[in-house]
Chain A
Amino acid sequence: MVHRGYARAAAFVAIAAASVILAAYGGPSTTHASAAKGPVRISLWESHSPGGPPGKSMVALVNLFNRTHRGIQVELTVTKASHKLLGAFAAGDAPVLAEVSHYDAAFITAHAIKSWNPYLSGAGGMSAVERGAIFPVTWTNGQVNGQHWRLQANVKVSQLSYNIGLFRKAGISSPPATWAQLAADVAILHKRLPAVVPLAWKDSSAHILPPFLSNGGTLFAPGSHEKKANFVTPAAVETFTFFRRLYANHQMIFAHGSEIRADFAAGKLAIADGTSAGYQKLLDAVAGRFQIGVIPFPAGSTGHTANLAQGLGFVLVAHHTPAQYRAAATFVQWWFSAQPQAYWGSRSGYPPESKLALSAMPSGYLRRYPGISVAVRILESPYTVARPVATAYKEVQGSLDAAFFNAVTGKASVMSALRSLETQANAYLSGSSAL
């Protein structure tokens, strides 16, 4: 008994000591056995939840690709890609392909990711037809100075869903097409259906910038080369004041996506702000108990609607072999072709990224699912822009969310919120807030 105890203790101590010695020597040298015979293996890290429609579609498509491309094996890992990627870079263990939201300029300056351009053009590259069919805003989403650093794996836009039954009950025949009509409609809803919340909005930049743009706002000060924001403007004042008035009149609330969907599904919310990616979840929550209408954001004082396209994109991670990059490019080109896009556009809850998919999708699908067809319409619009990729723009978005919330809920005046937002945003954009 006692001796076995010794042995166990000794074994443990030995293992622990060995671990430390290994750590001290920087670990065993790793061998990347990719040049060997057999298919080219490329690792792909992505972070869609595997139980949901996007995750399932991703797995199905990767499996289909592997079956139809004998020379290439895509190895899919579902993980928290953004966490894992930083550790993987430091360890020298990064995958060939990763799906990241918003690449950061830090990746480029560190030469951690590679441009897609050399692998998409020339012989074996993307055909002009395939390339031209991709919605322009999707194709340019991860583009900087002519180089494509990030190719959209999925795309989402902001849109409004409304409860058709509640609209009828309030005597409103058609959904709003302008912000002024929206204000009139929520006033009617509030008056005629006092137990219902007329409108729920998100305090998130993807839902603040579109109305701002539709009122004539610009993302950056003209001529500032994305180094200065442009928030102390009539467009911003008009946008902030609009929502501030709705909030003061108890015609709108702020909420997060999951709560908005829950309130909406319970029949207690008339108009839900959301994204095309949340549409499928909204359908699930409502489960056919009432009809859901979907509309793009209303038109602003410019006379047109505006939107922001965003989503996860494929990046090529540095320090792999040319053969692996070519294989990755083959996969991504296949991704943008008609059949996979039709599958993705009709199974994942996301709209397709290429027009080629529209005719290949199951007939009637777009008619049955207005959330997807509206998203496609928004993607085709010339007034839909890619989410900015300037360094530190994410921090600017955070400040925008806060300023909007404070101004709309009356914590601060519109002017003072916008002024402090501009100061903050300029500090971030000028690069003085981080190295």
Chain B
Amino acid sequence: MISSRAAFLRSFTRAMHGPRSIGATLREALLGYGLVMPSALIFLVFYYAPAAFLAYISFFHWNLFVNGNQFVGLRNFEILANQPLFWRSLFNTAYYVVVLVPTTTLLALAFALLLREMPNLRSGGLSRALIFLPHVTPVVATSIIWVWIFNPNFGLANAILGFLHLPQLNWLQSVTWALPSVMIYTLWHSVGLYTVLFLAGLASIPKNVLEAASVDGGHGWFAFRRVVWPMLGPVTFFVIVLVSVNTIQTFSQIYTLTGGPSSLAGGPAFATTTDSLLIYQTAFLYQHFSLASAMSLVLFVLTLALTLIQKLLADRIVFYR
């Protein structure tokens, strides 16, 4: 087994030599399969196979065991369609994504523009590190700090609002402000990653292009609008897709900020019950695993659809300018 694989490996590593023939094409294909095999296997065995089980079981009434499950067709999806809480969770997820995608992207872009290397200034390495650092921290550990900060009566957030003579808020205890509070935490936790992505995008713009723009009298906004922004198109698209996928799947901070292990997360009054939280609760708290699987399938399709729409838009706007 192993020796034949070694021979196989030797054969594909020779694939790069000689003129291109059918044999060479075949060898290159074999090389390709050999190279992607380790990662593809892991994806298939540990992610897609379990996901296929979820998709399968969402058409069944799962009885906890592998055999004897009852086929129920689209019944689980019908139940979801008639469940107000499911629609509420979709709304909350949409609200969360629609607010966070633009704010995260714009804030990250603004930070990147501020921190980049400028003609008369080195890049802001220390600040960049400080902004990125929260992304490194475990959510369980840092969310407790934010629970203290958001305390309506004695927390720092209201102390600051009070100092600015602004009305104080109930933050996580308010139907209106609970989800925005989670958004603030998420923004704090994740913006560093996207800032770095934008910084990388900025760094890849050739210096002479920037200089040419400024020689032409292009300063400030004009240079940004005409030179920098178009060249940031691809990285912007990448950031938007990444923020979208990550925000749709947000779970840990909602769980820890709004309830934690001891009480029902997602409150108050379902104000922070997003789709991934509801999937969790439906599966492990309410013990309706098939229903949770159906929700997972819906969420996956929605994520995929959103990414495809973004890709189509990006193809039109970004690449064919």
Residues of A within 8 A of B (CB): 6-7, 9-14, 16-17, 19-20, 23, 82-83, 86, 89-90, 92, 104, 106-107, 109-110, 112, 197, 202-204, 253-259, 262-263, 266, 268, 392, 394-395, 397-398, 401-403, 405-406, 409, 411, 424, 432-435
Which chain A residues border B44 with CB–CB below 8 Å? Answer: 20
- A13's partner among B37, B64, B66, B76 (CB-CB below 8 A) is B37
Contact of A107 with B9 at beta-carbon distance under 8 Å, contacts A19-B45, A268-B154, A433-B79 already known: no
The range of chain B's interface size is 35 or more
- B72's partner among A253, A255, A435 (CB-CB below 8 A) is A435
Contact of A256 with B64 at beta-carbon distance under 8 Å, contacts A106-B288, A203-B268, A262-B151 already known: no
What are some 25 contacts across the A-B interface (CB < 8 A)?
Answer: A6-B9, A6-B13, A10-B6, A13-B9, A14-B2, A20-B44, A83-B284, A107-B287, A109-B63, A197-B153, A204-B263, A253-B152, A256-B263, A263-B153, A263-B154, A266-B154, A394-B286, A397-B264, A401-B269, A403-B269, A424-B84, A434-B79, A435-B72, A435-B76, A435-B79
Which chain A residues border B63 with CB–CB below 8 Å? Answer: 109-110
Contact present for A256 and B259 (CB under 8 Å): yes
Which chain A residues border B290 with CB–CB below 8 Å? Answer: 435
Contact with A along B252-266 (1 / 0, CB 8 A): 000000011011100
Contact of A14 with B1 at beta-carbon distance under 8 Å, contacts A82-B285, A255-B173 already known: yes
Contact present for B6 and A6 (CB under 8 Å): yes
B113 lies within 8 A of chain A by Cβ = no
Which chain B residues border A424 with CB–CB below 8 Å? Answer: 84
- Cβ distance A57 to chain B, nearest Cβ, rounded Å: 18
Cα A90 to Cα B13 with chains together (Å): 42
Identity of the chain B residue whose Cβ is nearest the Cβ of A259 in the assembled complex: B151
Contact with A along B51-73 (1 / 0, CB 8 A): 00000000001011110000010
Which chain A residues border B187 with CB–CB below 8 Å? Answer: none
Contact of A86 with B6 at beta-carbon distance under 8 Å, contacts A13-B34, A402-B269, A405-B175 already known: no
- B270's partner among A89, A202, A402 (CB-CB below 8 A) is A402
Which chain B residues border A83 with CB–CB below 8 Å? Answer: 284
Contact present for B264 and A23 (CB under 8 Å): no
Contact present for B41 and A401 (CB under 8 Å): no
- B264's partner among A197, A398, A432, A434 (CB-CB below 8 A) is A398
Which chain B residues border A411 with CB–CB below 8 Å? Answer: 175, 269
- Cβ distance B138 to chain A, nearest Cβ, rounded Å: 17
Contact present for A434 and B259 (CB under 8 Å): no
Contact present for A19 and B41 (CB under 8 Å): yes
- A110's partner among B34, B64, B269, B286 (CB-CB below 8 A) is B64
Contact present for A112 and B288 (CB under 8 Å): no
Which chain A residues border B262 with CB–CB below 8 Å? Answer: 256-258
14 further contact pairs, Cβ within 8 A, besides A7-B6, A402-B270: A10-B2, A23-B49, A86-B289, A255-B152, A257-B263, A258-B260, A395-B85, A402-B268, A406-B269, A409-B175, A432-B82, A433-B79, A435-B72, A435-B79
Contact of A405 with B152 at beta-carbon distance under 8 Å, contacts A107-B64, A259-B147 already known: no
- A253's partner among B13, B84, B173, B270 (CB-CB below 8 A) is B173
Contact present for B291 and A203 (CB under 8 Å): no
- Cβ distance A21 to chain B, nearest Cβ, rounded Å: 10
Which chain B residues border A432 with CB–CB below 8 Å? Answer: 79, 82
Cα A83 to Cα B255 with chains together (Å): 15
B119 lies within 8 A of chain A by Cβ = no
User: Number of residue pairs across A and B with beta carbons under 8 Å?
Assistant: 141
Which chain B residues border A395 with CB–CB below 8 Å? Answer: 85, 286
Contact present for B9 and A10 (CB under 8 Å): yes
Contact present for B286 and A392 (CB under 8 Å): yes
Identity of the chain B residue whose Cβ is nearest the Cβ of A86 in the assembled complex: B289
B5 lies within 8 A of chain A by Cβ = yes
Residues in B153-185 with C-beta less than 8 Å from chain A: 153-154, 173, 175
Which chain A residues border B79 with CB–CB below 8 Å? Answer: 432-435
- Cβ distance B247 to chain A, nearest Cβ, rounded Å: 24
Cα A273 to Cα B5 with chains together (Å): 66
Contact of A16 with B42 at beta-carbon distance under 8 Å, contacts A23-B49, A90-B64, A203-B269 already known: yes
Which chain A residues border B34 with CB–CB below 8 Å? Answer: 13
Which chain B residues border A262 with CB–CB below 8 Å? Answer: 148, 151
Cα A7 to Cα B153 with chains together (Å): 63
Which chain A residues border B83 with CB–CB below 8 Å? Answer: 433
B10 lies within 8 A of chain A by Cβ = yes
| Chain A CB within 10 Å, residue with most, of B44, B173, B268, B287 | B287
Cα A316 to Cα B49 with chains together (Å): 30
Which chain B residues border A106 with CB–CB below 8 Å? Answer: 64, 287-288
B135 lies within 8 A of chain A by Cβ = no
- A405's partner among B9, B267, B285, B286 (CB-CB below 8 A) is B267
Which chain B residues border A402 with CB–CB below 8 Å? Answer: 267-270
Cα A434 to Cα B61 with chains together (Å): 9
Contact present for A16 and B41 (CB under 8 Å): yes
Identity of the chain A residue whose Cβ is nearest the Cβ of B259 in the assembled complex: A256
Contact of A110 with B65 at beta-carbon distance under 8 Å, contacts A204-B263, A259-B151, A433-B79 already known: yes
Which chain A residues border B23 with CB–CB below 8 Å? Answer: none
